[in-house]
Structure 1
Amino acid sequence: MTERLKADATDAGGPELVNDDPATAPSKRLISYCEAYSKVNDGPLAIADLGIEPLRAQCPHLDKWLSTLDTIEP
């Protein structure tokens, strides 16, 4: 499954560009590759396993959004 996801990201031009249609959104792809996938449960666990810094490095839009949030005063 990992290789298929990497291929999807490469074919799209990067991980942030995979989400090109509601029918092929990342969660829909994951479900088609692994029926037991649960976006609500597995998504946060995957992020925790990967770490936020590698995600920021791969996803400039995410990095920009998180940088904006970092500037907001509590």
Structure 2
Amino acid sequence: NAAVFTSAPTAAHGLAFGSLNQTEQVLGRAFATQVQVVIPEADRQALLGDIQEQFAGAGLRYWITPVIDAGEIA
């Protein structure tokens, strides 16, 4: 499990028009939330499996990007 993650409201573009609510159709984008988490490579498959199980059918999009460095400046 990830101890720390970030989330932010964002907009999704390029979705099927019929899947948008009326407000989203007028704006031309869907409301979305972007979640970012930095985890060890060894935990990647387990986290992805949990997400796939818990959000099955939700149309969730994801991508995995290597992180060169991470830390905390206190």
Q: TM-score, normalised by structure 1?
A: 0.29
* Max Rg structure: 2
Higher helix fraction (1 or 2): 1
Q: TM-score, normalised by structure 2?
A: 0.29
